[in-house]
Structure formats: C-alpha cells, structure tokens
Amino acid sequence: MTIIQSHKDLIVWQKSVELTLAIYKLTKNFPPDERYGLISQMRRASISIASNIAEGRYRGTRKDYVNFLRIALGSAVEVETQAHIAKQFGWVQEKDLFIVEDLILQIIKMLKSMIQKLNLKPEAKS
C-alpha cells in the first residue's frame, strides 16, 4: 500500500495535470476570436480540476476535502461539455479529442470513487 504524502502522489491529480496540458494543446489552434471564449473557459476549467484536488487535500476536514473533490468533478464535466461543443464546431481532430475524453473519463471515475470512499469512512477523532 502506497502512503500518500502529497496531492502530487494522487493519480487523479497527475491525470488532471495531464488533462490540462492536453487541453492547452487542443485549444492552441482554435479560432483567435475564441481566445476569451471557449479557449479561456476550457483552460480555466481544466486547471480547476487539479487545483481543487490539491487544495482539498490540505483542508482541515474530510467534509471540506469531499467538497473540493466535488468541485473538481464539476469542472471535469464542464471540460467534457466544452470539448463536445468544440467538436460540434469542427475545431478538434477526432484523435486529439479521444485523448481528452479518455482522460476526463478516468478522472471522473477516480473522483467519484474517492468521494464515495471518503463519505463512507468515519471521521477520525482528535
């Protein structure tokens, strides 16, 4: 069993960082007039996933941690929706979209599992 020393040890955090890099690459060739539209939205939402996982990890209570994981989950489905919209506009290639969608699916599954497990585990007493 691996001991988690930091948020950086969490696979879900690592995948979230990987997703952010993929989103930046994906949005690089979007139309310039989308700089403050979909490009900005997708990039900020993807950054929010890893950021909320990290912030939640260092909050004082399990309840706070779960809340931040839920926010990260919301950001993940936000990016998923935005990627779908970009596909409808024809701004992404299928192979690039597949990479992003696969990462999002993995992240969503991991976040849901973490939330469920943290909600079932009794709070440690001080």
Is 51 contained in some domain?
A: yes
Report the alpha-carbon angle 87-93-96, nearest 5. Answer: 100
Mean pLDDT of 73-97: 94
| 14 within a domain of the structure (yes/no) | yes
The reply to whether 1 falls in a domain is no
Domain of 44, CATH number, reads 1.20.1440.60
| pLDDT tens column, 5-21 | 788 889 999 999 999 99
Question: What pLDDT is stored for residue 126 in this prediction?
Answer: 44
What pLDDT score does 64 carry?
A: 93
In a domain, 3, yes or no: no
Q: Work out the angle between the directed axes of helices 11-27 and 94-120 (0-180°, nearest 10).
A: 150
Domain of residue 95, residue span? 10-119
pLDDT of 9: 85
Q: How many domains does the chain divide into?
A: 1
Segment 41-45 shows an average pLDDT of 98
